[in-house]
A and B are shown apart, each in its own frame.
Chain A
């Protein structure tokens, strides 16, 4: 405890403790008259405090044993890891409080690896802190700039080298070298650009609903397609869709493709819902549906996540990625979140057998915006 701790409010401190110029907080604003020293003195290092291991051989012995014990723990951990890897059945399970039943091998591998790494790390740090030399050293900072003579010498060397190589006298070499080095960037950049694949062409604006495969260069012609359940691939009768239900729909034939199923699915996925027609506020939505059954693209217009969270009470469609919310009663208008455009509606009708079919492809590109999009 030093003297300062024993002072109480109201005590008058001896002036010499803070200097005669010291100002107290309760004196209000006091105009100073300088008195700040030109240069602050370097306070230097605090006095060296020896460690117990420096003073007592018994403590040093104890620290040595602790370090050795940590390294031994690491050795044991490695052995546990190797034994667990080869001897423990991968399907064996064990009960761990707070976690539940988990794979025994993973538990032992984890504990072994943790002990092996932490044993080395903690041991090394403990060793350094208790037994390795304990001297404070000050290394003064020095200027980074080279001396003027050195700098001039470097410039001279470069100039002399250029002269000796005749680069200024023979400009042909200079310009062809520049061209060669400049063009060398092309083979580095070209494969990167080429590796991006073919240009998308019209495929961003087409989906499988346009009549078939819609990859780059495809020119599908529209035919009405049945709406099929995903993943069962069975057609849906209009009478199957009751109010409040939601069907995850793919176009007929998509799941039978041999190639590019995922690419087509990523554009053509559709959500089919049935609302009470009285709840629908937009005439186009009613016209493009069938007795309150409406089909909308499942691909979010923000960055293309599947908008699958349909709340049958509020008729809100929620995108799980960034919480864009679409109101199915208002033609899937965006009512919350970062999406900018309503979900495109797929015009549907029923065929002679009562199955739901598409009446026309999507009128606009599905999914996120892109430059060429109208």
Chain B
């Protein structure tokens, strides 16, 4: 203690004191608010990593700065601009294997061979979300069908979704090779993000159009329809009169023709 006291007038003392004070301040700050600091750091690296992945895998269609890019002819857009589509759009398109598209086509189909790991998709999502604010990935609770009201969801589904996706969510045709995909076997989170972001031909159903609760109700309805036992047996794809009529013509008439031939044949 005496040694310290003796050196208190040393020219370096003030500098050392300042350093110690700054160190204590920093340590105290880190102890009080450690989490945001860490998150900010990891998110910044995630955005960087995402940008690298984006440049390598997505920029050929969406442009180097995700500004969208026209094809050579200039008439149609190869990839739309991605500012403002949010992490949810990336999570939906890449998490269901729709993006990156394997070949130019009217529509990117769902593909279970997903080309990227979850971390990579999250990183690209973080990069795209950093361009402009957009919808984020929903929480588990927001998409839990058990918390939704399937009856209300059915009403909303019939007004907002059924004209494209069919009354039972079996999907249907659109113009020029595009189609509304079937909603059977789709994860609740993907249904939510599709409504939120409006992928490809689908319109956007943002939170002012369908509230988060309404979206959860629709998910509850679709889950109920999927899990419901098929009371009448074979549904023929739930496509209505087209597949039912074809079945009747081919199998019904086929059986009748077979019977007629049998009736006309003489017994051996």
Contact surface of A with B, Cβ cutoff 8 Å: 49, 51-53, 93, 96, 98-103, 106-107, 110, 125, 129-130, 229-232, 236-237, 239-248, 273, 306, 308-314, 316, 318, 320, 323, 325, 336
Rounded to whole Å, the gap between the CB of B217 and the closest CB of chain A is 11
B229 contacts A240, CB within 8 Å?
no
Tell me if B243 is interfacial: C-beta within 8 Å of chain A.
Answer: no
> B156 contacts which of A49, A51, A231, A240 (Cβ < 8 Å)?
A231
Tell me if B237 is interfacial: C-beta within 8 Å of chain A.
Answer: no
- A52-B268 contact, Cβ under 8 Å, with A101-B229, A110-B233: yes
Tell me if B200 is interfacial: C-beta within 8 Å of chain A.
Answer: yes
B203 contacts A273, CB within 8 Å?
yes
B204 contacts A245, CB within 8 Å?
yes
Rounded to whole Å, the gap between the CB of A189 and the closest CB of chain B is 34
Please report the C-alpha to C-alpha distance between residue A313 and residue B180 in the assembled complex, in whole angstroms.
13
Rounded to whole Å, the gap between the CB of B101 and the closest CB of chain A is 14
A129 contacts B206, CB within 8 Å?
no
Please report the C-alpha to C-alpha distance between residue A314 and residue B156 in the assembled complex, in whole angstroms.
24
Number of chain B residues close to chain A: CB under 8 A = 34
Q: A104's closest neighbor in chain B, by CB?
A: B229
With a CB–CB cut-off of 8 A, which chain A residues contact B263?
A: 125
Please report the C-alpha to C-alpha distance between residue A195 and residue B267 in the assembled complex, in whole angstroms.
57
Q: A51's closest neighbor in chain B, by CB?
A: B267
A308 contacts B163, CB within 8 Å?
yes
A336 contacts B204, CB within 8 Å?
no
Please report the C-alpha to C-alpha distance between residue A102 and residue B235 in the assembled complex, in whole angstroms.
10
8 Å CB contacts to A: which residues of B195-228? 198, 200-206, 208-209, 214
Tell me if B159 is interfacial: C-beta within 8 Å of chain A.
Answer: yes
- A106-B233 contact, Cβ under 8 Å, with A51-B267, A273-B203: yes
With a CB–CB cut-off of 8 A, which chain B residues contact A309?
A: 163-164, 174, 180
- A312-B198 contact, Cβ under 8 Å, with A51-B267, A245-B204: yes
A93 contacts B164, CB within 8 Å?
no
B206 contacts A308, CB within 8 Å?
no
- A244-B175 contact, Cβ under 8 Å, with A96-B233, A102-B232: no
